Amino acid sequence: MYANDAQKEAIKHKDGPMMVLAGPGSGKTFVITQRTKILIEDYGVNPSNILVITFTKAAASEMQERFKKLMGGRSLPVTFGTFHAVFFKILKLAYHYQAENIIREDQKHACIREIVRGIDLEIEDEADFISSIISEISLVKGEMLSLDHYYAKNCPETVFKQIYEEYDGFLRRSRRIDFDDMLVMCYELLKARPDILAAWQKKYQYILIDEFQDICKTQYAIVRMLAAPENNLFIVGDDDQSIYRFRGAKPEIMLGFEKDYPEAKRILLGTNYRCDANVLSAALRLIGHNQTRFPKEIRAANPAGAPVLTRSFPTIRDENLRIVQDIKAYLAAGYLAEDIAVLYRTNSCPRQLVSMLMEYNLPFCMRDMVPNLYDHWIAGNLYAYMHLAMGSRSRKDFLAVANRPNRYLRRDCFTEAEVEFEQLYRYYEDKEWMLERIEQFEHDINQLKKMAPYAAVNYIRHGIGYEDYLTEYAAFRRMKPGELIEVLDELQESTNGCHTYAEWFSKIAEYNQELKEQFSNRDRKKEGITLATMHSSKGLEYKIVFIIDANEGITPHRKAALEADLEEERRLFYVAMTRAKEHLHVYYTGERYHKKQEPSRFLEEYQ
């Protein structure tokens, strides 16, 4: 029944707190479901007094199914749910909330969009900005931070505070709550009402938590209240796989668990049943460089096979070509496409690989939406410049680039659907300094008429000053300019081989059509090579894993400035490595868009 003694000890545990350190592939779901069974069958615990908490609905359903199967198909009233589902249940009974009181994600986006537009901000990447602001609001609520002492990550503090307060006001007026309110309100309710807290403590006498390393401060505070006074709190997780700090997850909570519960027992599930011994030992060498962690002795149940293959390539194209060749060789050797995954740090990494997989007709499915480079707002600005060079005089094209870079042209000087430069000269005829700007604008458009796309992008960047505009915009958005400059690099690279604007636009249309077909088939078929970010690969496993673009600035990400950020990046790389069961390839490039690249420091750490 038990694969090893550590599993047996964890499963047999009855009363009091216990921390189970469960490394990758060590059988944590097995331990949670088996322990739930033992509590009921051997220790006589009423199933309705057991609460099993996971982080996602999918994980809760899977856990419930596994448990039901274990119990011979019987449906027992054990509560399996996410933190939010459990907290909403508590609020529902206290405040009579219904499902319609929870704001839907699309409603939340629409509300924030309206607020942002009402403030009249010049936001280029509106969708991305709104998503970032929503994440930031979530972090502030989840950590119960004071806005007065909060340093905003995506825009100036005054702007963030205004958006936050208007959104909060909307929720209160419409008697709605979001998922983060559930946490805060639940915490405040249980703190203020000992009678309600006592009732829930009586209800949930045994609490089991999966993926405990992903818990945030408020969730932990509520769980501690619910588990008291018996503290039958059984936590399962791996501090080395805590990769959601941006959502408020704090590995420090797991690391401090034994201080909060000095009587807690600790068990290490030290056998990895997933990875080849070579993959596991490389991953352990890497994660051993983190200082803030529980030291662990983990061994592989599987013998050593192929060594971890680390390779350098001159360019991204060379790297992608090699991946395609390797995949074809694995398929010819009898592996299935579903056995293979390509993992990357951010969802913009595989753009060129996607094109190449299409070109070679290799089936793939994507766990994350890869943003279409040609839909990026920077691409839209380039198109507008080129349309004007091709003779367009549409108001839309003029408005897109009139102040990128800033020429101080007022919106109301573009009154007609079609705009001629003559109108602009007339509008500013008494302002000589503005006439000079318009003259330069017209000169630039005339220069672009004579250029091929590659030279045109170069001229827009450096001759017109578009790169300087991006640098200013990045400062407002509190981004590193490099993130935007790289989009420009990639767009410029994509014009290679195109002699006219029409030729480039035709290439873009073809790519867009292929991408559209890929995504329309995506929901119907899940077969093929998996393309996923390191974050979304967590919990999955494949016989063959490629980690691509293992370069400094990509992984670890250029945003990782503090030691805590670097440790999180290392944990993320560790998660990616431990997805591989048999073969692990780690690839990096010597240059990226004609700029020299350094290999990731992680390569040296695991070798």
Separation of alpha carbons 278 and 286, rounded Å: 13
What whole-number percentage of the chain has pLDDT above 90? 75
| Confidence at residue 37, expressed as pLDDT on a 0 to 100 scale | 95
Separation of alpha carbons 42 and 380, rounded Å: 65
Spatial contact of 350 and 344, defined as CB atoms under 8 Å apart: yes
| Confidence at residue 154, expressed as pLDDT on a 0 to 100 scale | 87
| Confidence at residue 479, expressed as pLDDT on a 0 to 100 scale | 86
The top-scoring range by mean pLDDT among 365-374, 463-472, 474-483, 557-566 is: 463-472
Strand partners, 530: 341, 365
**To the nearest whole number, what is the mean pLDDT of the chain?**
92
Spell out a b/e string for 22-39, using b for 16 or more CB atoms within 10 Å of the CB, else e: bbbbbbbbbbbbbbbbeb
| Confidence at residue 426, expressed as pLDDT on a 0 to 100 scale | 92
Spatial contact of 271 and 298, defined as CB atoms under 8 Å apart: yes
Phi-psi region of 81 (alpha: psi -120 to 50; beta: other; left: phi over 0): beta
3-state SS record for 283-296: HHHHHCCCCCCCCC
**127-131, 370-374, 537-541: least confident range:** 370-374
Query: Would the pLDDT of 216 be above 70?
Result: yes
- Helix pair 28-41, 57-70: axis angle to 10 deg: 50
Q: Which two tokens stand for residue 77?
A: 């009233």
Strand partners, 120: none
Q: Which two tokens stand for residue 187?
A: 């915490």
Instruction: For residue 571, give every residue at least 6 positions away whose Cβ sits within 8 Å of its Cβ, in sequence order, or none.
Output: 240, 241, 242, 243, 251, 287, 290
Residue with tokens 């695991």: 606
- Helix pair 126-142, 105-119: axis angle to 10 deg: 110
Sheet of 580-589: strand order equals: 309-313, 580-589, 542-547, 340-344, 529-533, 364-366
Rounded mean pLDDT of 228-254?
A: 92
pTM value is: 0.88
Rounded mean pLDDT of 564-580?
A: 96
Separation of alpha carbons 474 and 378, rounded Å: 12
Residue with tokens 């060749």: 325
The top-scoring range by mean pLDDT among 462-466, 507-511, 535-539, 590-594 is: 462-466
Helix residue ranges, H only, 79-125: 83-95, 105-119
Query: Would the pLDDT of 4 be above 90?
Result: no
522 band by pLDDT with thresholds 50, 70 and 90: low
Task: List the one residue out of 110, 140, 102 whose CA is nearest residue 127.
Answer: 110
Query: Would the pLDDT of 2 be above 70?
Result: no
Report the chain's terminal Cα–Cα distance, integer Å: 37
Query: Would the pLDDT of 555 be above 90?
Result: yes
Phi, psi for 235 (deg, rounded to 5)? -110, 135
Q: What does the pLDDT look like over 132-185, one tens digit per residue? A: 999 999 989 888 888 988 999 888 899 999 999 999 999 999 999 998 999 999
Q: Are strands 18-22 and 233-237 parallel, antiparallel or unpaired?
A: parallel
Phi, psi for 356 (deg, rounded to 5)? -70, -40
524 band by pLDDT with thresholds 50, 70 and 90: low
Q: Are strands 18-22 and 265-269 parallel, antiparallel or unpaired?
A: parallel
Query: Would the pLDDT of 578 be above 80?
Result: yes
| Confidence at residue 350, expressed as pLDDT on a 0 to 100 scale | 86
Q: What does the pLDDT look like over 482-517, one tens digit per residue? A: 889 989 999 999 998 899 999 999 999 988 887 777
Separation of alpha carbons 532 and 70, rounded Å: 32
Rounded mean pLDDT of 110-131?
A: 88
Q: What does the pLDDT look like over 321-348, one tens digit per residue? A: 999 999 999 999 999 999 999 999 988 8
Q: What does the pLDDT look like over 299-309, one tens digit per residue? A: 999 999 999 99
Q: What does the pLDDT look like over 363-390, one tens digit per residue? A: 888 887 777 889 999 999 999 999 999 9
Phi, psi for 304 (deg, rounded to 5)? -70, 140
